Amino acid sequence: MKVLYVGNFSVAHSTESHVGQALEANGVTVDRRQENQVDWTSLARDLGDADFVLWTTTNDYAPPRTYGAQRGFLHDCRVPVISYHLDIWWELSRQHLIYEAPFFRTDLVVTADGGHDEMWKAAGVNHRWMPPGVSEFECGGGTPRDEYRSPVAFVGSWNGSYHREHRHRGELVAWLQRNRDDCTFWPRPGEHAIRNEPLRDLYASVDVFVGDSCFAGRIANYHSDRIPECLGRGGFLLHPVVDGVTDGSLYSDGEHLRTWRTGDWEALRYLLDHYTEHPEEARAIAEKGRAHVLQHHTYTVRMRELLALVATTVPASFA
């Protein structure tokens, strides 16, 4: 099988780079096309022997001025076009893109936004939920480093740049800053996100990680890639309860990670106190979490699921 994949391959840590590797691990030949360099007007004639097109978009790489050419491509394309994305889209300022961007008018739209089935349907989008994963090739053991060492850490958007609709992120960061002088925040102000080997080393250097996902505690069936990214690298994670995710559906509290309900700060305080005082218990859970992710939640597994999904859900005219 061959896939023509449109996306951002300019950096090794992009979703597209990891997904491309995962497709190849499943025996698929991947023809990579950099989204901001694609000629949409000729792409339908330049498919080669691709069985389908996979598309992961970056807003800056596919601005509205390209929409007309993208619509033309979708009209002329002779193989299925599958959209794939890790973001949540509904109830954020960008949800207008669902109605405007051709990315959401492909034959099949696969995203991590699984809590809005009726809204996807009402918008006329052929949507399927697929939770994020982690690249198995990024899950080797890290080396503890003094510069990363701390009992507690938060990794992700923490300095006010996160979606303002998700108030819990700011509340969580503020609570940690007030109550945990042993908590460090990454990336440091003015620095880029930590990736690749340094990220593995960070996860090997901290006892307890506190995570969060957009609308955690309010919307089911969505979590950011923070859960598999952390667990797959061997980190011990505290994360808010998410129905359809941390209730045993994907991950189990006490077995793969520990959870608290958003707003229950005393529960979070207890978990932090307990596991910083009993790091051996945290390590035991982290080991089970890593094994679980490597078996069930890598991108190699996700792409196997995607290939099966494409085979059963594309329009009959492509069969």
Strand residue runs (E) in the chain: 2-7, 29-34, 52-55, 81-85, 108-111, 127-129, 150-155, 183-186, 206-210, 237-240, 258-260
- What secondary structure letter does DSSP report for 283? H
166's torsion region: left (phi>0), alpha (psi -120 to 50) or beta? Answer: beta
Task: Report the DSSP pairing between strands 127-129 and 150-155.
Answer: unpaired
Amino acid, res. 106: T
CB 205 within 8 A of CB 149: yes
- Band of residue 130 on the pLDDT scale cut at 50, 70, 90: very high
Q: Where are the domains of the chain?
A: 2-133+298-318, 136-296
pLDDT tens-digit series, residues 26-73: 999 999 999 999 999 999 999 999 999 999 999 999 999 999 999 999
Model-level pTM? 0.95
Whether 2-133+298-318 and 136-296 share one fold: the answer is yes
Percent of the chain beyond pLDDT 70? Answer: 98
CB 146 within 8 A of CB 114: no
pLDDT tens-digit series, residues 143-152: 999 999 999 9
Fold of 136-296: Rossmann fold (3.40.50)
Average of per-residue pLDDT across 277-306: 98
pLDDT attached to residue 315 = 62
Q: Which residues pair with 247 in a beta bridge?
A: 252
Evaluate whether the domain defined by 2-133+298-318 bears CATH number 3.40.50.2300: yes
pLDDT tens-digit series, residues 211-261: 999 999 999 999 999 999 999 999 999 999 999 999 999 999 999 999 999
pLDDT attached to residue 157 = 78
Task: Report the DSSP pairing between strands 183-186 and 29-34.
Answer: unpaired
pLDDT attached to residue 167 = 87
Average of per-residue pLDDT across 88-98: 96
pLDDT attached to residue 222 = 97
Average of per-residue pLDDT across 115-124: 98
